[in-house]
Structure 1
Amino acid sequence: MSNLTLTDDIEEEDEEFPLTVTIPCGIIIVCLIFFAVFGNLMTIAAFIRDKGLRNVYNMYLINLAVTDLLLGLVSMPFYAVYTLKSHSWPFGYHFCKTYMVIDFALCLESILTIIVISLDRLLLLRYGPHYSHKETPKVAVLKLALTWIVAVSLYSPAIIGWDLWTGEDSVEQGDCDVQFANDLAFTASTAVVEFAIPFIAIGVLNFLIYCKIRKRSKISPVAKDALPSVTTAVDAKNRKAARFLAMLVVVFGITWAPYTVSTIIISFCDSCVDVNLYEAFNWLLWSKASLNPFLYAYNSARFAKNFQNMLACCKKGKVTDTTSGTATTNSKP
């Protein structure tokens, strides 16, 4: 009787979703992957083709775009197979570990980059005209290198060696998950490091940016009369940057919070969160990679114009010379 029950359970776990579920989910997943790959490729291409976009601030945005692109090329496609096969991992144990290292590193790098972007905007307001002398491309590269080191180092040792340290394999055969998924102490600690602390840090940085902008907007009438056009320009620009950061924070909070909270709950109560709902939260987290290119275009006229030019070239079936006078004109902010 017990063997019969065990067999029924295994068959139930291996049963794939019906087509009425697989097809709509597959369409949504394909759309998310398409926008993550195509949108971030256009962002990177715009940075390469338009010299006017090559500044320190946009270097950070491009790092975020590269991270999101890799999520669209690696994390999302392989997990799409896992999701649509009713949470069955067909790629083996060793590739699962490699995949988890890449995915966790990319997700954390995305968060760290948003922190760096927020800090960069605060430094711009603090340094003013001296910003370009202090925050050089070399400094930006060093900051980004540090974020990648932290992103890879936080989870990788535990993902690779958890079952070797404990001597237990807590992941069922045919599944792909981290071995520490049910360890409350480790999961809660990493959730604090990965979500709570960054979210608070980003919130504080953006609040300070808002205060700085408010203070600048209260500049004396004499100063405004002396340099009216410059003051006004520094203020569409600072406010626009603050608005963009606020949108990044909101998107980050909405897409990450459900996954983080449910992950903590699962660590001490595996059956308290429906597995399909948890997978939906996972895809909600990755959807940020698909949304970010739209934010770039919405908040930067120069990025938007480059996107329009590239889409127009795709429609015509030819590549426009980016050094031509027309391209230069269309790239103005």
Structure 2
Amino acid sequence: MNAIQSYNTGEWSPAPLCYEKVNGSCIKTTHVFGVQLVIYLFCAMGMLLVVLGNLLVVVSVFHFKILHTPTNFLLLSLALADLLLGLTVLPFSMVRSVESCWFFGDRFCRVHTLLDTVFCLVSILHLCFISIDRHYAICKPLQYPIKFTVNVACIYIAVGWSLPIAYTSVFIYTNAVDEGLSHLLKDLPCIGSCQLLFNKLWGWLNFPVFFLPCFLMITLYVKIFLVASRQAKQISNLEKMVSSSTNMRASRRERKAAKTLGIAVGIYLLCWLPFTIDSMVDSLINFSTPPLLFDIFIWFAYFNSACNPLIYVFSYSWFRKALKIVVTRQIFQSGSSTVNLFQE
């Protein structure tokens, strides 16, 4: 029987369990009420920021016709993934992190893991596609309107959702995977842990799935930065000779969009890198990462979903205008969908 020693009496007493009268139950990590309350409030504020921020992005891009561009449709799909993460995954992850137990059953554990992984992979694929979009817009501006249309963006979105769903479903809902990998763990997961048996192989497979798109994004943005810097010098020289034209303003918008999305990619890598590396290393050390450290890594990754709307607020004047119209409920007025958000 699991037990802990009382420092006041020197006697051993039973350790708190997730399920008191169930054999094989996980040991529950207890916190004082004040600490629990602070963690719950912190996680709840994070979830609220994720949900509201991405909801505003979804509503803005969907409502305003001027934002119906290939790039913005990819941003819309990315925001939808982050919104669904905040609504369907984070509430249950919050309870698991604070209570150190999974109280929602094995079946929902699989669903929760499926959604968690799918939304993560959807995000990284969409960021990769956005990098390709920006590469064409900056490096091949004459070919961009032909190469990257709304139809192409829709195909990218379909691929960006279908591949993660198919890839994740194979591991979570194929019994052969569990049966073939059960011998790899010295101890089977205790009841109340939501630890699936495929985690050892999962950590290694997710390594290339995460880093190959990241390597592609970094390569593209390095090229974008070099080309954009050269274009900025050329435009600066032209502006000294002629007055600023619409094409020049459009070119500056494209470069600013590339810079903003490059920042979003960098923050994504910063947030997800610790958790991804830990997932791979943890499979080598028989999942011995301290629960507190694991929770810090995973919530640091989760909060990345709240970053993109904040980046747009500080970077895009059109997004601030859209937010003002949405928040003040002017979107319910006739003709609001045709407002020119790019007008100075």
Name 1:89's counterpart in structure 2.
102
Q: Quick check: 1:265–1:273 contact (8 Å CA) kept in 2?
A: no
Equivalent residues in 2 for 1:229-244 (5 A)?
229-230=245-246, 232-244=248-260
Cα contact 2:60–2:323 (8 A) shared by 1: yes
Give the superposition deviation at 1:231.
Answer: 5.2
3-state secondary structure, aligned to 2:137: helix
1:252 aligns with 2:264: no
Change (3 A) 1:193 1:100: same
Counterpart AA for 2:161: W
- Cα separation, partners in 2 of 1:222 and 1:77, compared to 1, 3 Å: closer
Correspondence for 1:133: 146
Q: CA deviation at 1:288?
A: 0.9
Does 1:304 find its partner at 2:320?
A: yes
Extract unaligned runs of 5+ from structure 1.
none
Aligned equivalents of 2:253, 2:126: Cα separation in 1: 21
The code of the aligned residue for 1:213 comes to: A
Find the counterpart in structure 1 of residue 79 from structure 2: 65
Corresponding residue to 2:157 among 144, 149, 161: 144
1:7 offset after TM fit, Å?
Answer: 8.1
Q: Secondary structure of the equivalent of 1:236?
A: helix
Query: Is 1:211 the counterpart of 2:226 in the alignment?
Result: yes
Structure 2: unaligned runs, 5 residues or longer: 5-11, 18-25
The 1:329/1:159 distance shift into structure 2, 3 A limit, reads closer
Give the share of equivalent positions with the same residue, in percent: 24
- Larger proportion of helix: 1
SS at match of 2:234: coil
**Contact 2:66-2:340 within 8 A present in 1 as well:** no
Is 1:188 the counterpart of 2:204? The answer is yes
TM-score by structure 2 length? 0.84
Pick from 7, 32, 37 the counterpart of residue 46 of structure 2: 32
1:118 and 1:206 in contact (8 A); partners too? yes
Distance 1:331 1:3 in 2: 64
Structure 2 letter corresponding to 1:142: I
Cα distance in 2 for residues equivalent to 1:92 and 1:275: 20
Whether 1:78 aligns to 2:92 is: yes
Q: 1:148 deviation in Å?
A: 1.3
Q: CA 1:301/1:278 → structure 2, altered by over 3 Å: closer, same or farther?
A: same
Q: CA-atom RMSD, angstroms?
A: 2.8
**Distance in 1, Cα, partners of 2:281 & 2:254:** 40
TM-score by length of 1: 0.87
1:328 aligns with 2:339: yes
Task: Report how many aligned residue pairs link the two structures.
Answer: 323
Contact kept, 8 Å, 1:53 with 1:302, in 2: the verdict is no
Tell me the distance in 1 between the aligned counterparts of 2:327 and 2:84: 22
Alignment CA distance shift 1:268-1:8 (3 Å): farther
